[in-house]
């Protein structure tokens, strides 16, 4: 490409005016859940998302009460062992004392 052609192209590109048409930005409904395993990964993710000027939130993992988890596991074992009660629909109010 010759210099004169390059200069001409640069002049033309500078003369262009912005398009009068506004482009519609499409928003996504997607949510990404990422589980960093180290604080370095967490910091890198935060820095990356901030650099892109994206909204984000960090939630702390809330674990269940260990007693509650044990109770649910025992209940599952009892059910598997056949230790449960079935109730007919017509007897449900009576069982609940209603």
Residue 64 CA to residue 10 CA, distance in Å, equals 64
Query: Does any domain span residue 4?
Result: no
Comparing 15 with 54, the larger pLDDT belongs to: 54
Query: Does any domain span residue 23?
Result: no
Total number of domains constituting the chain = 1
| pTM exceeds 0.85, yes or no | no
| pLDDT value, residue 3 | 56
Query: Does any domain span residue 84?
Result: yes
Whether pLDDT at 79 is above 90 = yes
CA-based nearest residue to 58, from 40, 27, 35, 86: 35
Q: Could you tell me the residue range of the domain that residue 64 belongs to? A: 60-98
């Amino acid at each position: 490409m010759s210099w004169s052609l390059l200069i001409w192209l640069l002049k033309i590109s500078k003369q262009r005016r912005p398009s009068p048409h506004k482009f519609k930005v499409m928003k996504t409904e997607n949510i990404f859940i990422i589980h960093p395993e180290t604080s370095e990964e967490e910091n890198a993710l935060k820095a990356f998302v901030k650099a892109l000027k994206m909204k984000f939130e960090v939630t702390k993992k809330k674990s269940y009460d260990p007693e509650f988890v044990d109770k649910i596991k025992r209940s599952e074992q009892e059910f598997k062992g056949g230790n449960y009660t079935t109730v007919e629909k017509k007897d449900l109010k009576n069982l609940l004392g209603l």
